[in-house]
Amino acid sequence: MFEGINFVNKELFWLLLLLPIAIVWYIFKYKKQTAELKISSIKGFKTTNSWLPKVRHLLFVLRLLALALLITAIARPQSVDVSTKTKTTRGIDIVMAIDVSASMLAKDLSPNRLEALKKVAAEFIKGRPNDRIGLVEYAGESYTRTPITSDKAVILRSLHDIKYNTIIEGGTAIGTGLATAVNRLKDSKAKSKVIILLTDGVNNSGFIDPKIASELAVEYGIKVYTIGIGTNGTALSPIAIDQRTGEFQYGRVQVEIDEALLKEIADVTGGEYFRATDNKKLEEIYGEINKLEKTDIDEFKYYNYQEKFRPLALLAGLLLLIEFLLRTTIFRSFV
């Protein structure tokens, strides 16, 4: 009956202890008021089959029920309907700058570095429903694949379509890729602006020095997290294209990542540098960045209280009325 009901004044239920006290008092009073007459025989008395004397205790039961209902009513039963509304108070704009050079097809991560990155990055994007995200691709040159947007479906489709191609100039232009990402964020009104820059090599092309790109990021209040991806030692990497099949031939190649440069970029901009040597480590890195860059969300709860004491009070009043009418009519001669 009271499922989903809260009582404001629960302590008043102690008053229910009055009920057994009232019962004891009633029994004592009844025995005291009952007269006894000892006679040898009752044959001379006319007996009646009236049921009224037998049920007159109903009056006391009605009073007890009314008292119990009144106590429950003054305990103020309420039902509560809670509605929640969330509001993003501090959104984050994020640009993911992804190295798409041929070396990203190396197989030290499964199935290769690029596909492993895409899988982890997709989960990262899904976990940022309140932020705007953009994508930048770079190799020897860079371009914006997707401007910052809150449409996660667009971002995920664009990320899925990223593949190595020969259209973009070869090489690794870290400075150019970073500068393009900065350009996408410089006019952002977000309180927090972040670039996640990933590469598996060293800066060997492009017209913009990575240090100058870092200074631009600082000027526009952009934090840069850098990730070096690749195992320690050698990795099975593409070394040449088979002219007959058009597919890459693979060989063991020494992994070279300019960690000093990536650490400097992260330090200067207030970010952090991470090294992903396998799939699991890459997942952990994006999980760590996800924790570091939290979006502030205010949650507002609205409580709609509905008082439930009125039906109980009315029912108690009705019982008392019935008790009064019975006492002054049918049971008048017995009370």
pLDDT of 3 reads 61
Apex 197 CA angle, 195 and 199, nearest 5: 175
Question: What pTM did the predictor assign?
Answer: 0.64
Decide: 112 and 50 in contact? Cβ < 8 Å: no
What is the C-alpha R_g of the chain? 41
Residue that has been written with the tokens 């393009």 in this structure:
180
CA atoms within 13 A on the CB side of 249: 7
Decide: 19 and 63 in contact? Cβ < 8 Å: no
Q: What is the DSSP letter of 131?
A: S
Decide: 295 and 128 in contact? Cβ < 8 Å: yes
Q: Going by C-beta distance under 8 Å and a sequence separation of 6 or more, which residues neighbour residue 200?
A: 99, 101, 103, 104, 106, 113, 172, 228, 229, 230, 255, 257
Q: Going by C-beta distance under 8 Å and a sequence separation of 6 or more, which residues neighbour residue 167?
A: none
pLDDT of 40 reads 56
117: three-class secondary structure by DSSP: helix
Q: Going by C-beta distance under 8 Å and a sequence separation of 6 or more, which residues neighbour residue 109?
A: 116, 117, 229, 231, 276, 278, 279, 282
pLDDT of 37 reads 52
Dihedral of CA 25/26/29/34: which sign? negative
Q: Please report, in tens digits, the pLDDT of each residue of the chain (335 residues total).
A: 556 678 888 888 888 888 888 888 878 777 766 555 555 555 555 555 556 666 677 888 888 888 888 888 888 888 877 666 655 556 789 999 999 999 999 999 999 999 999 999 999 999 998 899 999 999 999 999 999 999 999 999 999 999 988 778 889 999 999 999 999 999 988 888 999 999 998 999 988 999 999 999 999 999 999 999 999 999 999 988 877 777 889 999 999 999 999 999 999 999 999 999 999 999 999 999 998 887 665 556 667 778 888 888 888 888 888 888 888 887 776 55
pLDDT of 295 reads 67
pLDDT of 235 reads 93
The per-residue DSSP string of 223-271 comes to: EEEEEEE--SSEEEEEEEE-TTT-PEEEEEEE----HHHHHHHHHHHT-
- The tokens describing 94, both together, are 């994020």
- The tokens describing 267, both together, are 């330090």
pLDDT tens readout for residues 243-270: 777 788 999 999 999 999 999 999 999 9
Apex 329 CA angle, 323 and 332, nearest 5: 90
pLDDT of 85 reads 65
Decide: 197 and 225 in contact? Cβ < 8 Å: yes
- The tokens describing 285, both together, are 């890195």
Q: Going by C-beta distance under 8 Å and a sequence separation of 6 or more, which residues neighbour residue 245?
A: none
